[in-house]
Structure 1
């Protein structure tokens, strides 16, 4: 990986982390297209640059994190399933799932279909417009949905948004709760991976991580603002269709 590829992957991360299209899936597919070899560093890179996207959410939602304790209760409750399963399955996920473009393709297509289904359900049954009014039991169920995102291509954002809509959250509230829930989930996941792998990184690899981190942060700030504006007026239909088309096209061209 060179510095230009690190910038491109950082931009891809910032564009896709909070959209329901799978950032990990896109990073894997783009890396394969650019011919970047799959090794321990590239896997850690794909995880670590998510920290840039995390800081974008903290930057944009700082007041809410500092003042809204009711939302924090729901975030912590929703984090529990993913935190436990992620810790138990860390080695399996990194060894066998991350980097597998066949799994990504299947996950993109199936996830797109489920997103379209949840979006239609939400049109009739979503009635909770404020995440602070979400019950703790429903927050926990959203966390169960989020744990599915440990499979590359599923998308952490998509799984939590789908879970949110299926338990009654409106589209915008589901998206915002997904953003907020990303902070503890991704912060712990990236910190844990860096802790486990940092001794193997060279100076040039730390440089690549820094470049990817910064490009992810700047891109994510713009993307989150644009996404909230879009989803306040439109459905998730374009994202579901995009996932399905991308999965099919990639399978036909590269598998």
Structure 2
């Protein structure tokens, strides 16, 4: 039964990772509905593993872009790939600081369902504001990459704040091109997710939690997230580029209100 629940949560992660609706918030909601309960530190570990699975699916879909960036870096020239990589690095700094210094807070927050509901309402508000903003089609600047990175750091700290929603919305509010914003948003998170997953396994303080974790549900959840993410990534990214953000805003509002009412009535 735990395996089936983990697979369902994995599918939810794979489908919601590429939409601006907070995959981490949906993981918490799905676990609550299915009764898939873990300790606080295990909840965070489970979420990281599922995010790592969709990061791998993103790498598969964006493999050509990633290879071009790597090739450009090894040319040791101040080219477009080098500049893009520097912007990615700048955008990562705020989230790295959050991960290093607020890890205990993250574990506690990733078990708070009511917080997820309220944060989904904030996501809805941000998406609505971004939907009204005008995109000028300009490239993402170095300053923009830092501001977008701050938005990602907030999303990393608060489940229910959509990472892609906050980064894409912030970029659009800054008048950046929507298609470029989506591409930047999905690529900027890859090093962070891979690094977080690696640190989770290497962190000695988590050794006991890892040993007590049933590996089968974890592995099944990982595979479900990877496969569903692999199939969903490409067409969902195109959907995000073309769709109006207000529809995602409405969805997040409905889910947020439902979750808040559920926590008060259960």
- CA separation of 1:225/1:125 partners in 2, compared to 1, >3 Å: closer, same or farther? closer
Contact 1:119–1:236 under 8 Å retained in 2: yes
Which has the larger displacement, 11-20 or 168-177?
A: 168-177
What residue number does 2:4 align with? 4
Contact 2:114–2:263 under 8 Å retained in 1: no
* Residue 192 of structure 1, CA deviation: 1.8
Partner SS, residue 201 of structure 1: helix
* Partners of 2:253 and 2:220 in 1: CA distance: 31
* Partners of 1:160 and 1:60 in 2: CA distance: 20
Q: Which structure 1 residue ranges, 5 or more long, are not aligned? A: none
Q: Deviations over 1:174-224 (max 9, x none)?
A: 121111011012112222223232443348722222211111111112222
* Partners of 2:145 and 2:213 in 1: CA distance: 41
Which has the larger displacement, 204-213 or 21-30?
A: 204-213
Aligned residues between the structures: 248
Work out which of the residue numbers 199, 206, 217 in structure 2 matches 1:192: 199
* Partners of 1:204 and 1:252 in 2: CA distance: 31
What residue number does 1:180 align with? 187
Instruction: List, as ranges, runs of 4+ consecutive aligned residues in structure 1 with deviation greater than 4 Å.
Output: none
Contact 1:14–1:53 under 8 Å retained in 2: yes
What residue number does 1:206 align with? 215
TM-score w.r.t. structure 1 length? 0.91
Q: Which structure 2 residue ranges, 5 or more long, are not aligned? A: 70-80
Q: Does 2:112 align with 1:100?
A: yes
* Partners of 1:104 and 1:14 in 2: CA distance: 18
What residue number does 2:238 align with? 229
Q: For 1:54-133, what aligned pairs fall within 5 Å after superposition?
A: 54-68=55-69, 69=81, 70-94=83-107, 96-121=108-133, 124-128=134-138, 133=139
* Partners of 1:239 and 1:222 in 2: CA distance: 20
TM-score w.r.t. structure 2 length? 0.87
